[in-house]
Homo-oligomer: A and B are copies of this chain.
Amino acid sequence: MSEQNKIPQATAKRLPLYYRFINNLHIQGKLRVSSKELSEAVKVDSATIRRDFSYFGALGKKGYGYNVEYLLEFFRKTLDQDEKTPVALIGVGNLGTAFLNYNFTKNNNTKIEMAFDADPNKVGTEIGGVPIYHIDELEQKLSEVQAAILTVPLAEAQNITERLIKSGVTGILNFTPARITVPEGVRVHHIDLSVELQSLVYFMKHYPLDTDEEA
């Protein structure tokens, strides 16, 4: 896709979700899918799905639905599924360990290649097949890595972020409560567990009959 044809960010955020379910349908041998079926599977309303898909041209046919193989090929290209992005994980606590044990490689173009921690008991071991290096080795090991998952203690977040960026990292998935500061050209997605929980409670109280998640 050219830079001129930027799709809305809300749409872009749903692409990995669509891709995974379409891939599952493909594995099950399904040849076509309606926006209604897709809607029930991914829990996004079908009007939104049709609008999202429309940004990529007319992918569906009325009364037929969408061709699964076509969609799959389309999303594979759009999401660069043939190009693996090496990822590093920084901070092998409980949350970091959960990530390492999580099967990211299934139907996926991202792979955690290495992890870092300061704990000498963890350094030199492997979790989920991923080697754990000492945090002091960060600059030395990171040369190929573009994206990092940040699961370090709050007080370390900004310092580690700066070291990651100096080493060439251009994307950070930040799971610390810190709102880290980065230069232009570095992308940060922030997932704050406490904010997510408060947000859920707010919606439970204020939108009790609106069951749709903000997908």
Instruction: State the A residues within 8 Å of B (CB).
Output: 1, 3, 6, 9-10, 12-13, 15-17, 19-21, 40-43, 79-80, 85, 87, 93-95, 97-99, 101-102, 104, 108-110, 146-147, 149, 170-173, 177, 179, 181-211, 213-215
Contact = CB atoms under 8 A, between A and B. Distances in A.
Query: Does more than half of chain A's interface fall in helix, strand or loop, or is it mixed?
Result: mixed
Given A110-B201, A203-B171, A204-B171, A99 B16 contact: no
B190 A43 contact: yes
B190 A215 contact: yes
Chain copies in the assembled complex: 2
A146 B204 contact: yes
A4 to B, nearest CB: 12
B12 A199 contact: yes
27 contacts: A6-B206, A10-B214, A12-B206, A15-B199, A15-B202, A21-B179, A43-B179, A80-B202, A80-B205, A85-B201, A93-B98, A94-B98, A102-B193, A102-B194, A104-B193, A104-B197, A109-B198, A109-B201, A171-B203, A171-B204, A173-B197, A173-B200, A187-B208, A187-B213, A189-B199, A189-B214, A190-B213
